[in-house]
Amino acid sequence: MQESIIISFQNVMKRYDEDEEPVLKGVSFDIERGKFYTLLGPSGCGKTTILRLIAGFAEPTEGTITMEGKVMNRIPANERQVNTVFQDYALFPHLNVFENVAFGLRVKKLKKPVIEQKVQEALRFVNLAGYGNRSVSEMSGGQRQRVAIARAIVNEPQVLLLDEPLSALDLKLRTEMQYILREMQQRLGITFIFVTHDQEEALAMSDWIFVMNKGRIEQSGTPNDIYDEPINRYVADFIGESNIVPGVMIEDYLAEFNGRRFECVDAGLRPNEPIEIVIRPEDLEIVPLDQGKLRVRVDSQLFRGVHYEISCYDESGQEWLVHSTRKAEVGGEIGLYFDPEAIHVMRFGETEEEFDRRLEAYGEVEAHGK
Ligand SMILES: Nc1ncnc2c1ncn2[C@@H]1O[C@H](COP(=O)(O)OP(=O)(O)OP(=O)(O)O)[C@@H](O)[C@H]1O
């Protein structure tokens, strides 16, 4: 076992109800110490179930969960070095801020001065020094969430699980809390496993993202990997907006779509293989008609503050979404230019394992100079 791995799932299956489909269908991953992980996916894909299995609130039906190399499948929650922060804060409304944070320490029967010192330290950490005597009912949503975080970190867990902790906050506060959480994780150096269905939040905060779909991990990687190299349409669609166009591989570095050939950099696909091409809206540049790789007619345009969101159609009826700081004329024709590097090619319906194998095999071919 690698020293740095703190949690490992091996082929974990979870079924709540015997006659229903499993909620997790064979999930495997490793969690390293001190990093910020995010489980990202739509409602019902099994994110919270993974947290419950880590916390010990549920047991796997099949497979193995290990923590620091020790099998944890049947170990109760109170024997795990894990704490959870929930979406609804789950604070005690009749206790003040100090007592909410002190709760776990009192259960552990620590001495009074130790509790006092640890609680004050945790409150300072979340920027709530001096708020100990406040009633939690007087606090704002963001402050309550910080109390909930202080209550979790005061126990000095090795792993902090955060189940959609920001979803009850308004947009501005949410963004502020994203910075605070990220910074807090880096200062504490403990492992965070964060659950969200918001892809922007996941991209902004994480070292590593697991994109989930119906009880499976569809793709895992750094935010850059997942944004720039989605392995299939599901991930590309879920992570930001994309233009996804069917096509066919002609040869290395050359793909065909909409009846035309375009240079691309993705490799390891064979000639004639059916592919899907992903071009992000911000990678399409508006240029004069004669300089464009595509010729499109502008259908609609929305001003989004930092850019215009422009919807266009080419002569084949394919829609192209463009994010541009330049304004276009609705109804007019424009050229669209993109770099070969901006085209990402996916094999139709490929799984993550197949994708990894393909790239590995391609790397070997390159290394042997063939
Ligand atoms: N205790 C339970 N008993 C039976 N079914 C459950 C239980 N908990 C969750 N489920 C079901 O398991 C599936 C996955 O739920 P889970 O909460 O893990 O998903 P999620 O991705 O976290 O979704 P959400 O964002 O809506 O919480 C859902 O269909 C849910 O109804």
Residue 92 shares a structural domain with residue 192: yes
pLDDT at 364: 55
Residues 12, 83: one domain? yes
* pLDDT score of 367: 46
Residues 353, 207, single domain; the answer is no
Determine the pLDDT at residue 17: 92
Give the position, in ligand 1's atom list, of the atom nearest the Cα of 46.
18
Please indicate, yes or no, whether residues 53 and 73 belong to a single structural domain of this protein: yes
> 150 C-alpha vs ligand 1 centroid, how far in Å?
27
> What burial class does residue 291 get, using C-beta atoms within 10 Å of its C-beta: 0-12 exposed, 13-18 middle, 19+ buried?
exposed
What pLDDT shows up at residue 370? Answer: 34
Has residue 29 been placed in a domain? yes
Would you say residue 235 lies in a domain?
Answer: no
Residue nearest to atom 2 of ligand 1 (CA): 16
Same domain, 142 and 167: yes
Same domain, 170 and 297: no
- Centre of ligand 1 from the C-alpha of residue 215, in Å: 10
pLDDT digits (tens, 9 = 90+) for 91-102: 888 899 999 999
The two structure tokens encoding residue 127: 């920027």
CATH of the domain at 262: 2.40.50
Residue 318: inside a domain: yes
- Residue 192, in any domain of the structure: yes
pLDDT of residue 300: 96
What is the span of the domain harbouring residue 299? 285-336
Q: Which atom of ligand 1 is nearest to the CA of 17?
A: 4
What's the pLDDT at 368?
Answer: 44
Q: Label the pairing between strands 319-324 and 308-314.
A: antiparallel
Domain count, the chain: 3
Ligand 1 centroid to residue 363 C-alpha, Å: 40
Q: Do 292 and 276 share a domain, yes or no?
A: no
Give the residue, by CA position, lying nearest to ligand 1 atom 17.
48
Intervals of the chain under pLDDT 50: 366-370
Pocket test for ligand 1, best of 16, 39, 193 (most atoms within 8 A of CB): 16
pLDDT, tens only, 31-80: 999 999 999 999 999 999 999 999 999 999 999 999 998 999 999 988 88
Please check whether residues 48 and 66 belong to one and the same domain. yes
Give Cα 359 distance to the centre of its chain: 23
203 and 304 share one domain = no
Q: Are residues 179 and 203 in the same domain?
A: yes
> What phi, psi does 267 have (nearest 5°)?
-135, 180
Answer for the pair 324, 306: CB distance below 8 angstroms, yes or no: no
pLDDT at position 252 is 82
User: Which residue from 20, 38, 47, 87 has its CB within 8 A of the most atoms of ligand 1, so it is best to mutate?
Assistant: 47
Q: Is residue 236 part of a domain?
A: no
User: ipTM score here?
Assistant: 0.95
- Domain of 320, CATH number, reads 2.40.50.140
Residue 93 lies in a domain: yes
pTM for the full predicted model: 0.85
Task: Identify whether residues 44 and 166 lie together within a single domain.
Answer: yes
Residue located nearest, by CA, to atom 31 of ligand 1? 44
**Do 273 and 293 fall into the same domain?**
no
Residues with a CB atom less than 6 Å from ligand 1: 16-17, 23, 41, 43-49, 197
* pLDDT value at residue 81: 85
Distance 89 CA to ligand 1 centre (A): 19
Ligand 1 center from residue 21 Cα (angstroms): 12
Residue 234 lies in a domain: no
> Which pair of tokens denotes residue 129?
């020094």
Query: Rounded to 10 degrees, what is the CA torsion of 65, 66, 67, 72?
Result: 70
In a domain, 152, yes or no: yes
